[in-house]
Chain A
Amino acid sequence: MANFSTNEFKAGLKIMLDGEPCNILENELVKPGKGQAFSRVKIRKLISGKVIEKTFKSGDSVEGADVLDTELAYLYTDGEFWHFMNNETFEQIAADEKAVGENVKWLVENDTCTITLWNGAPIVVQPANFVELEITETDPGLKGDTAGTGGKPATLSSGAVIRVPLFVQTGEVVKVDTRSGEYVSRAQK
């Protein structure tokens, strides 16, 4: 993998740090009027998800990370691995529990997910921003109630628990924002 000098640092560049692939979020030039320039970089470690700050001397270089985001459709899980397929090449990839992490609760069969590959292996599975899931269990609410009164918990077919308005019932399909875990609306039929 190529090395990148600090003057190539920009948001989105993937580099290796402490043996872990990282994504640069921000790069700020620190340059005294008289003196050495530094790059103060905000970095997300892609495996641990940690965001850290790191300062490099201007002109120093670091190893790039062979990291690639790819759009794949979720197929199924065998309990140990979650299987995804490239809809164009029909190539399949299996992600382990560590890569899927918390996002397991937003995986919907046939939905497209963004899979981050490091040296060809999945390290992060990112669901679509919005998914539609069926409510498998929720208390019957009062008819005529409107959204925004606090709502009630509902369990979705994926196992996720979210808050929904009182008028939404078991068996209905709802649209959820996976970034916040919040109910958006009833699904459009």
Chain B
Amino acid sequence: MQADKWRPSASIEALKQRALVLQKIRQFFAIRDVLEVDTPSLSHATVTDEHLYSFSTQFNHPNTPQACTLYLQTSPEFAMKRLLSAGSGAIYQICKSFRNEEVGNFHNPEFTMLEWYRPRFDHLQLMSEIDELMQLILGCDTAERVTYQNVFKQHLGCDPLTSTLAEIQNLASQYGHAELAAKESNKDTLLMLLFSQHIEPQIGQDRPCFVLDFPASQAALAKISATNPLVAERFELYFQGIELANGFHELTDGAEQLKRFEQDNIKRKNVGLEMMPIDQNFIAAINAGLPACAGVALGIDRLLMLAFNCSSIDQVIAFENSRA
């Protein structure tokens, strides 16, 4: 086996199909007049989300005595939003994103992301466009839409927005996670556990499924709903047990964004993680006027796993990490 390590982990046939899918995606955006862009992989700042681990490296600038730290981007989001603020109009990007500590059947530390932004769209309009792309690439039926609240009620019989921590702990215990639940005081962590283990495998089996209106506490970079302060205008797309995409009706309030980053860093500090440098260029761009827009990040490798019916990400990328 070791002698075969030089070989690609995907078949050449899969790589040919992969190239065709990428062509189709580019055509999809070309006819919609969405501009392809290319933003840096290396940045001076990075994501503050406590659940994302950036790779970092040292840049030896020839004219500077001390090396400076650069981070490989976990997604091109900040740079793309800076382009939006600078007046780019609708844009998309197909690029490598890098996440440390992620490897498995659905994860590789570097993976291909399709990310796009639509000025003047809200998240609902963007979901319709994603749906069209899914049908084009996967030949699937039109996606269904369900709120986070209803999907929890339907599958686990509980309201994730109004239930107390104790109620969610109790529910997690009933589903076989007694020890984990007993020592977990973060309600969102338990919701994520229940969602990933007991809801995700049930939804989007026959057709893709959008789950929308995530709890406000899991807003990330989404606007909080104007009509219901308990939820954020954030959605995720699932199909056949795979989490495919995450999108937002984007937060355009720079002060609020900065506050969320600072809160992220406090959470990081509380769990013993290093605080991350906040991307001030991104904050400045929002303040300069990020247009009202919706955006989504979609995992291309996972999309290909679905298109080619593969059980491991290794089968759709030329060289998975252990061969890289």
B290: A residues at CB distance < 8 A: none
| Nearest CB of B to A30, in Å | 5
Cβ-closest chain B residue relative to A28: B104
Which residues of the other chain, B, contact A143 by a CB distance below 8 angstroms?
Answer: none
A 4-37 to B, binary, CB cutoff 8 A, 1 in contact else 0: 0001000000000000000000001111111111
Residue on A nearest B180 in the bound complex, by CB: A57
Contact B49 A34 (CB under 8 A): yes
Tell me if B197 and A40 are in contact (CB < 8 A): yes
A173 and B297 alpha carbons, distance in the complex (Å): 66
For B297, the chain A residues whose CB sits under 8 A away are 33
User: Is B196 an interface residue, CB under 8 A from the partner?
Assistant: yes
Would A35 and B177 be within 8 Å (CB), given that A28-B104, A29-B102 are in contact?
no
B102 pairs with A38, CB closer than 8 A: no
Query: Which of A29, A30, A56 touches B180 (beta carbons < 8 Å)?
Result: A56
Asked if B218 is an interface residue, CB under 8 A from chain A, the answer is: yes
| Chain B residues in 8 Å Cβ range of A34 | 49, 51, 218, 220, 246
Q: Could you give, for residues 171-183 of chain A, a 1 whenever the CB lies within 8 Å of some chain B CB and a 0 otherwise? A: 0000000000000
| A55-B193 in contact given A29-B104, A32-B243, A34-B218 (Cβ < 8 Å) | yes
State whether B197 touches A55 (Cβ < 8 A).
yes
* A38 CA to B49 CA, complexed, in Å: 16
Q: Across the interface, do B243 and A33 meet the contact criterion of CB distance under 8 Å?
A: yes
Pairwise interchain contact B101-A35, C-beta atoms closer than 8 A: no
Residue B192 is within 8 A (CB to CB) of chain A in the complex = yes
Count A interface residues, CB 8 Å: 19
Near A by CB (< 8 A), chain B positions 188-202 give 188-189, 192-193, 195-197
Closest to B234 in A: A34
Partner of B184, one of A30, A37, A40, A57: A57
Q: Which of B213-240 contact A (CB under 8 A)?
A: 218, 220, 236
Chain B residue numbers with a CB within 8 Å of A36 are: 51, 188-189, 192-193
B145 interface hit (Cβ, 8 Å): no
Distance in Å: Cβ of A1 to nearest Cβ of chain B: 18
Output the nearest chain B residue to A57 by Cβ-Cβ distance: B180
Q: Which residues of B contact A55 (CB under 8 A)?
A: 176-177, 180, 193, 197
- Does residue B107 face the partner (Cβ distance < 8 Å to A)? yes
The residues in A between 94 and 115 inclusive whose CB is less than 8 angstroms from any CB of B are: none
Residues of A within 8 A of B246 (CB): 33-34
- Kindly list chain A residues whose C-beta atoms are within 8 Å of the C-beta of B243: 32-33
Cross-chain contact B192 with A32 (CB below 8 angstroms): yes
Query: Residue on A with the closest CB to B248?
Result: A34
Contacts of B51 in A (CB 8 A): 31-32, 34-37
A40 / chain B contacts, CB cutoff of 8 Å: 197
Is B136 among interface residues, defined by CB-CB distance under 8 A?
A: no
A7 touches B49 (CB 8 A): no
Residues from chain B with Cβ under 8 Å of A38 in the complex = 192-193, 196-197
Q: Does B310 contact A (CB under 8 A)?
A: no
Per the bound structure, the CA–CA distance linking A36 and B193 in Å amounts to 8
Minimal beta-carbon separation of B213 from chain A (angstroms): 14
CA distance A60 to B51 in the complex (A): 14
The 8 Å CB contact of A32, one of B104, B176, B180, B196, is B196
- Knowing A36-B192, A57-B189, the reply to whether A29 touches B103 (Cβ < 8 A) is yes
Alpha-carbon distance between A32 and B193 when the two chains are bound, in angstroms: 10
Give the residue among A28, A34, A36, A40 with the most B Cβ atoms within 10 A: A34
Residues A55-70 near B (CB distance < 8 A): 55-58, 60
B180 and A28 contacting across the interface, CB-CB below 8 Å: no
The reply on B263 being an interface residue by CB < 8 A is no
- 14 A-B pairs (CB sep. < 8 Å): A29-B102, A29-B103, A29-B104, A33-B299, A34-B51, A34-B220, A34-B246, A35-B51, A35-B192, A40-B197, A55-B193, A55-B197, A56-B180, A57-B189
Which positions in A face B, CB cutoff 8 Å?
7, 28-38, 40, 54-58, 60
Top 5 nearest A-B pairs (CB, nearest first) are A29-B104, A35-B192, A36-B192, A36-B189, A33-B246
Mark B residues whose CB is within 8 Å of A: 49, 51, 101-107, 176-177, 180, 184, 188-189, 192-193, 195-197, 218, 220, 236, 243, 246, 297, 299
A30-B196, A32-B195 given; 6 more Cβ-contact pairs under 8 Å: A29-B102, A29-B104, A29-B106, A31-B51, A36-B51, A57-B184
